[in-house]
Structure 1
Amino acid sequence: MADATEQPPFRPLPQKAPDVEMRTAPGGIHYIAARHAPGPRPRTIPHCLDERAAEHPDRPFLKERDPETDEWVTVTYGEAARITDALGQAFIDMGAGPDAPVMILSGNSIRSAMVILAAQKIGAPAAPISVPYSTMSTDFEKLKHCYNAVSPKVIFAETLEPFKKAIEALDCDDCTVFSADTGGDNTVLSYDTLAATEPTAAVREARDRLTDESIGKYLFTSGSTGMPKPVPTTQGAMCSMIAGQEGLRDSGRDPDHDPDAVENLLDWLPWNHISGSNVNFNGALWNGSTFWIDGGKPTPALFHETIRNVRDCSPSVFGTAPIALAMLAEAMEADDDLLMAFFRNMRSIGYGGATLSDDLYDRLQALAIKATGRRIPIVTMYGATETQGITVVHWEAERVGLIGLPLPGSTLKLVPNGDKLEVRVKGPSVMPGYHNNPEKNAEVFDEEGFYCLGDAVKFVDENDPNKGLIFDGRVGEDFKLSSGTWVSVGTLRPDYVAACSPLIFDAVICGQDKDMIGALVWPSPAGMEQLVKENGGDMMTAFRVLTEKLAEKTAAFNAGEPGSSRRIRRVMVMTEPPSVDAGEITDKGYVNQRLVQSRRADLVAALFSDPPGQGVLSL
C-alpha cells in the first residue's frame, strides 16, 4: 500500500473515534466492549416503516427497473405503508401469524420487499430463501429442508414459472402460493389482488403487539457446514443493530454532510442474508433513504447492469463483495464518466464476505483521488447470520484486513485457541438459538452465554485495542503441515487469489499433514473469456496460456513470502465449477474448503502424489 504520508486526506467519515474498554481474564481471555452507548432505534421495523411514511409519504423508498420498459419504477414510503397494510390483512386472512411464516422464494424486488415487511407487520416471520435452492438445484433438498424447518402458511414467488418445479417438489397442500405472474395457474393467487385487500384494524393491532422478542424473520445459515439452519431473527435483534450503528454516528465530523439530503443506496446483496437485508435494507429504512435495487451481480454476465445503474443512481454509499469492487475498479479505470458518476456523492465504500487486497485498496484510492482529490473511507462490518453485525470499521483506516471494533451494546470475548484468538460475542443482536435445535444450541453457546463464531482475530496492536482487530481466518479451516507449521487458510487464500487476479476467482488451500501447500483453483470466467478471445477462439491454447500465466503469478507470489506456511508449491486448475447442491459454495460465494477437498479427494491426491498428477503445476 502507498505511504499514507504522501497521500491526500480522507473525506471525513461521520463516525465517532474508536473508544473501547478491554478486560483480560485468567487464561488470556479478553473481553472487549465499546464505551460508546447505543443510540436511538425504532420500536420495531414495521413501526419504522409507518413512521417514515408519516414523515415523508412522497419520498421514494424503493426503485427497480421494469423488466419490460427498462424504466425505473418507484414506490414511495407512503405507498409502501399502504401496500403492506393490504398484504398484511391478506396474510391474516390466509392464516399467517407468529407460528405460520411467509416464505419468499424469489430474489430482491419491490414486491418481495413489500411481502417481507407485510409479514413482519402482522407478526408472521418472513422467511426469504436463497434463490439457487429453487432455480439451480436439481433435487431441491435444501429448499425442502428450509420449508419443513419453519412450516410456512404462505409462499411468494414473483414470477411463477422459474419456481414452479421447486414449489411442486414441496408438500404444501396446506399452504397458499401467490405470485405477480401466475402463468395462468388458477391455483395460485395474484399479488395485485392481495395488494388491493382492504385492511382492517387487525393489521394495526397485530403490529402494536410486536415486542423485541417477536420473530421478524427466519434467516437461514448459508449451508456451508451441512444443511441450512433457521435463525430466528427478532425485532429486538434487528433494531439493536441499528442502535449500535447510531451510537457511533457523528455527522459533525463531515463538513460536507447535508442533514436534509436523501441518501441513495444501490445494492444487489440478497435479502436472505443479514448484509443485504438487516444492514443495508433496514438501515435505508431507518435513515429514510432511497434504496435502488440493483439487478446486476458481480459476474461477467451481469456486472454491466450494476455499472449502468451506478450511472443513474450516483450512490451515497456503496457496499459489496471485493470481487465486485475489483470489477468496478477495472471499469472506472477505463471510463471517466463512470468514475465521476460513482464518486459524485460517495461518502464511503463498504465491503464484506472476504478480505480486500492491498492492491485493490490502492486502486480504489487512486480512483477516488482522481475523481475528488481526496481518499475515500473504505470500511467493513463483521458478523454472522446468528449475530447480525457485531463489529465495524468506523474510522478512516489506512490498511485493509480489519474487522473493526464492537458495535455499542455488544461484547466480544477472545479466547486462546492454539496460537489464535477465537472470537465469541454476546449482545442484544445475537439470536436466542436456532429454531427447534437444542442440541446445536448447546454446542454454539459457551458457559457464559457467548455465541461462538468459529473465526479467529488478532490485534493490530496488543497494547492499544483501539487500533482494531484483524480477521485471522476460520479456526476449523486452518491446518498443520507435516513440519508442524500452521497454515492460516483464511488469510492465505484471499492473498493468493488476489495475486493471481484476473486468472482465478477462488482457490481451495490444501496440505494437511503434507510437506507443502497445494491449491485447487477455479479459473475466472472473465479472465478465461479474454484469453480465448486473444487466442482466436482456441480454448485449448487459451487454457495452456492460463496455466503458464498462473505458474508465473504463483512463482511471483511465493517470491514475496518468507516461509513454508505461505508458499504455494502445487497448483491444479479445476474444470468442474463449485456445486451449490453439494454445498461446495453458497450463494454469497463462500467456498467450503474442507467439503471441496473431501468431495474432490482424487484431485487432492494428484496434487501431492510423487510425481505430481496430470495437470498439476509444480513450483
Structure 2
Amino acid sequence: MKFPCKTVAFGPVKTKMYHETDGTIRLRADEPLAPYPEKMTEKLRFWADRQPDTTFLARRNARGEWVHLSYGQALRQVQSLAQCLLNQGLTVDDTIVILSENSLEHALLALAAMYVGIPYAPVSPQYSLGSNGFERLTYCLQLMTPRLVFAQNGQLYEQALALAKSLLPDVIILTAEPTGNTNFEELLQTEPTAAVEEAYQRVGADTVAKILFTSGSTGVPKGVINTHGMWSANQQQILQAFPFLATQPQVLLDWLPWNHTFGGNYNFGLVLYNGGTLYIDDGKPTPLGIETTVQNLRDVSPTMYFNVPKGFEMLIPYFERDWALQTTFFSRLNLLFYAGASLSQPVWDRWEELTIEATGQIIPIVTGFGSTESSPLAIIANRTDSFAGLLGVPVAGLDLKLVPDSNKLEARYKAPNITPGYWRDEIATSSAYDEEGYYKTGDAVRFLDENDPDKGLIFDGRIAEDFKLSTGTWVNVGMLREKIIAVGSPLVQDAVMVGLNRDYVSAILFFNPDACRELAGLSDDVSTRDAFLAPAVTEFTVQLLKQVNQTARGSADRLEVAVVALEPPAADRGEITDKGSLNQRAILHNRPHLVGMLYPENGWLTAADAQNTVAVTTANALS
C-alpha cells in the first residue's frame, strides 16, 4: 500500500548547468536570492515589535520547569547586556569567548555582542571539560585573545576559567551560576543608553558576528569568520528552500551545540529569522543524554525536528514502545531533517514507518549539505522524493563549481553566505579559495543523473580521505563506508576505512552494543565486550564482509579484513567531531593496534588473540 506524503511547501529545485572544456561543471539555482537584512539582530527587533509576548527561547531550570524568554524580553535584556559590554570598554576591536553549553544566558550574551558589533566565539565545551588537557582550549584562547570569557557554571568550568586568567591576566570572567561577584541577573537590569543604538547602527553586513571553530578533523581548529551578512543571507536561502517557514510559527526542540554551525547558525538562526520558538534540549545522542531528550519530547511538539543520524537511530526504540510519545511528537511535525553524517537507508525506512503509524502519511525526511564556511547551507534536498544520501541542489544565489580531481568532482562555492576567511590566519585564508574566488570545500559530489541536474547531487566522500592501494587503485572511502553501514545496520554504527599504500582495503567497525545484545539474545547487563564476542555477532561480521563483497567490482571496493573496536569513539580524543561524525585521521592515529591487526607483519591474529577487538577476515584474505 502506498501512503501519501504530507503536503509541505517546498521551494523550486530547478537548476542551470554549464559544462566547460576542462571538465569543470557549474551549477546555479534558477531562482534568484531575494533581499535579506544586513544583520540578524534586525530580526530580533522586528519580532520584538511584531510579537513581543511570543516565546523566543525556553530551557528547563534546576527544578525541571521550563523558563520562557519572549522576544520582547530578549530584546530588552540584549540591549542591557550590550550596555554592560560598552561600560567595560569593549569595542569592535575586542572579542568575547563563550566556553559553555547552550543556555538562555549564552544566547543573550551572544546576541548582545552582535548587537553592538563585538565578535564572539563559542568554543566547544569539550575543550574545557575533556580529560586530555586543555591544548585546544589554549589554542582558541590565544588565537581570540578575548577581553571577556563567559561560562554558564563557574564551578564546572573553574579550571578552564583559571586557564583563561593565567593566559590573559586582564580578561573579564563572567558566569551565571552560581552567583559570584558579578550577578548576571543584575546585569540584565542595566539601563541602555544612546551609545547602544549608535553602536547598533554601525554594524553592517561585513561586520564580524562570530567565529566558529572547525572540529579540527584535519589539524588544529580553524576559526571561521561569520559576518552578519553571510548568516542573514543563508537564512534567506533556507527560507526560499522551505517557504512554509514564513506561514507557520516554527517550534524546535534542539540539543545541537551552538559552537557548531548546524545548531548555532542553522537552527538558532532559523528560529530567529522566522519568529519561531526554540526549546533548548540539554540531552544529546548518548546513553545518558538520550533519556533527557526523550523526556523533553514528551513536553514539546515540534513543527520541525533536527538531529544527527546517530540521534535519529537512538530514538527509534523509544518511539516503537511509547504510543503517547509518538502522539505528542508527530502531532504537528512537518519535517525531519538530518545532517552531520549520512543517514543509513534502514534507519530512514524505519522513521518513515513511524510517521505512517502515527499519522497515516509520510512526513518528509530531508537533509542539507555545506560547511562552517558556508553558514552552513549550500546544497538542499527540499523534495518529497528524497532518500538517504541525496544532498539536493544548490541554494538560491550560490554558484557551485564542480572541479575534476582524479576520479572525483570537488564542490566549490561562491555566494553571499560564504566566509571571507579564517580569523587571524592569512595562510589558511589564502589557500582556501581558488583563482576565481571560489571556496574549496574538499568535498566530492556526483550527480544522481548526469543528464538531469535537477534530480540532485550525492555525497562522494572527502577528497582528502580517499587513498590509493599499493597497486595505484583509488579507494572511494565515502561510498564504501555508506555501503558497509547500509548492509550492517542496525549493528554497524560507523566505519573507518584503512589501506593507504597497502595491498587491500580493510575497516575498523564501530558496533551498537544494544543491537549486538539483541542479536545474540543477551540481557542488558551483559558487558559490551561479551556482546561483541558473542558467536552470533562474530558470524554476523563474517556475513557482513561477504555481503559487501558480493557487489564488489575490484580491490578498491572489496573489504578483505575488519576489526570491531570494543572502545567507542572518544570525543575528548578528537575521534568525534561536534556534529557527530567520525574523525578518520584521529582514529587511525589513536588506535595503531587496530591497524596492526588489519595488516599484521607475522601472520593473522585471531579474535582470541585480540584484547580490544573482534576480528574477522574473508576466506581468501592474506592468502
The answer (yes or no) to whether the contact 1:88–1:203 under 8 Å persists in 2 is yes
How much has 1:483 moved relative to structure 2? 4.2
**Alignment gaps of 5+ in structure 1:** 1-5, 252-256
How much has 1:397 moved relative to structure 2? 2.4
The one of 151, 166, 177 aligned to 2:173: 177
Which residue is 1:481 aligned to? 469
The one of 412, 415, 419 aligned to 1:424: 412
Render the CA deviation track for 1:458-515: whole Å, top value 9, x for unaligned: 0011111111110100011112334444322122224323433443433211112333
Which residue is 2:200 aligned to? 207
How much has 1:570 moved relative to structure 2? 1.4
The answer (yes or no) to whether the contact 2:413–2:440 under 8 Å persists in 1 is yes
* CA distance, structure 1, for counterparts of residue 114 and residue 219 of structure 2: 28
Query: Which deviates further from its counterpart, 191-200 or 120-129?
Result: 191-200
How much has 1:335 moved relative to structure 2? 1.9
Which residue is 1:393 aligned to? 381
Q: Give the match's secondary structure for 2:577.
A: coil
* CA distance, structure 2, for counterparts of residue 183 and residue 50 of structure 1: 29
Render the CA deviation track for 1:183-231: whole Å, top value 9, x for unaligned: 65x4xx2211222222111111111111110001011111111111111
**Alignment gaps of 5+ in structure 2:** 619-623
* CA distance, structure 1, for counterparts of residue 352 and residue 410 of structure 2: 32
Aligned partner letter, 2:314: M
Which residue is 1:51 aligned to? 46
Which residue is 1:88 aligned to? 82
The one of 47, 58, 73 aligned to 1:79: 73
Render the CA deviation track for 1:301-348: whole Å, top value 9, x for unaligned: 111221222221110001110111112223212222222222111111
How much has 1:94 moved relative to structure 2? 1.7
Q: Give the match's secondary structure for 1:247.
A: helix
The answer (yes or no) to whether the contact 1:314–1:345 under 8 Å persists in 2 is yes
Aligned residues: 604
How much has 1:536 moved relative to structure 2? 5.9
Structure 1 residues 339 and 513 mapped into 2: Cα distance closer, same or farther (>3 Å)?
same
* CA distance, structure 1, for counterparts of residue 512 and residue 23 of structure 2: 43
Structure 1 residues 431 and 565 mapped into 2: Cα distance closer, same or farther (>3 Å)?
same
Which residue is 2:621 aligned to? none
Render the CA deviation track for 1:144-170: whole Å, top value 9, x for unaligned: 111111111111111111111112122
The answer (yes or no) to whether the contact 2:542–2:616 under 8 Å persists in 1 is no
Which residue is 2:393 aligned to? 405
Which residue is 2:325 aligned to? 338
Query: Which deviates further from its counterpart, 117-126 or 500-509?
Result: 500-509
The one of 562, 566, 572 aligned to 2:552: 562
Which residue is 1:458 aligned to? 446
How much has 1:582 moved relative to structure 2? 4.3
* CA distance, structure 2, for counterparts of residue 226 and residue 481 of structure 1: 24
Q: Give the match's secondary structure for 2:299.
A: helix
The one of 603, 608, 619 aligned to 1:611: 603
Q: Are 1:97 and 2:91 matched, yes or no?
A: yes
Q: 1:316-395 residue pairs with structure 2 within 5 A?
A: 316-388=303-375, 389-395=377-383
Query: Which deviates further from its counterpart, 570-579 or 130-139?
Result: 570-579
Query: Which deviates further from its counterpart, 321-330 or 553-562?
Result: 553-562
The answer (yes or no) to whether the contact 2:341–2:580 under 8 Å persists in 1 is no
Q: Give the match's secondary structure for 1:169.
A: helix
The answer (yes or no) to whether the contact 2:217–2:585 under 8 Å persists in 1 is no
The answer (yes or no) to whether the contact 2:513–2:531 under 8 Å persists in 1 is no
Structure 1 residues 116 and 550 mapped into 2: Cα distance closer, same or farther (>3 Å)?
farther
The one of 529, 533, 538 aligned to 1:544: 533
Render the CA deviation track for 1:380-434: whole Å, top value 9, x for unaligned: 1111111221111111124221111111111000001111111100011111111
* CA distance, structure 2, for counterparts of residue 357 and residue 517 of structure 1: 21
* CA distance, structure 2, for counterparts of residue 411 and residue 302 of structure 1: 39
Q: Give the match's secondary structure for 1:54.
A: helix
Aligned partner letter, 2:401: K
Q: Give the match's secondary structure for 1:161.
A: coil
The answer (yes or no) to whether the contact 2:516–2:537 under 8 Å persists in 1 is no
Aligned partner letter, 1:16: G
Q: 1:26-45 residue pairs with structure 2 within 5 A?
A: 26-45=21-40
Query: Which deviates further from its counterpart, 214-223 or 491-500?
Result: 491-500
The answer (yes or no) to whether the contact 1:91–1:154 under 8 Å persists in 2 is no
Structure 1 residues 587 and 137 mapped into 2: Cα distance closer, same or farther (>3 Å)?
farther
- Length-normalised TM-score, structure 2: 0.92
The answer (yes or no) to whether the contact 1:97–1:125 under 8 Å persists in 2 is no
Aligned partner letter, 2:603: P
Render the CA deviation track for 1:512-537: whole Å, top value 9, x for unaligned: 23332211233435446777962864
Which residue is 1:3 aligned to? none
The answer (yes or no) to whether the contact 1:353–1:590 under 8 Å persists in 2 is yes
* CA distance, structure 2, for counterparts of residue 539 and residue 288 of structure 1: 45
The answer (yes or no) to whether the contact 2:542–2:617 under 8 Å persists in 1 is no
Q: Are 1:247 and 2:235 matched, yes or no?
A: no
The one of 416, 423, 437 aligned to 1:435: 423
* CA distance, structure 2, for counterparts of residue 512 and residue 617 of structure 1: 20
Structure 1 residues 300 and 560 mapped into 2: Cα distance closer, same or farther (>3 Å)?
farther
Structure 1 residues 128 and 588 mapped into 2: Cα distance closer, same or farther (>3 Å)?
same
How much has 1:27 moved relative to structure 2? 0.8
The answer (yes or no) to whether the contact 1:316–1:347 under 8 Å persists in 2 is yes
The answer (yes or no) to whether the contact 1:521–1:572 under 8 Å persists in 2 is yes
Cα RMSD (Å) = 2.2
* CA distance, structure 2, for counterparts of residue 248 and residue 540 of structure 1: 46
Which residue is 1:145 aligned to? 139
The answer (yes or no) to whether the contact 1:40–1:247 under 8 Å persists in 2 is no
Of all paired residues, the percent bearing the same amino acid is 37
How much has 1:275 moved relative to structure 2? 1.0
How much has 1:541 moved relative to structure 2? 3.5
How much has 1:14 moved relative to structure 2? 1.0
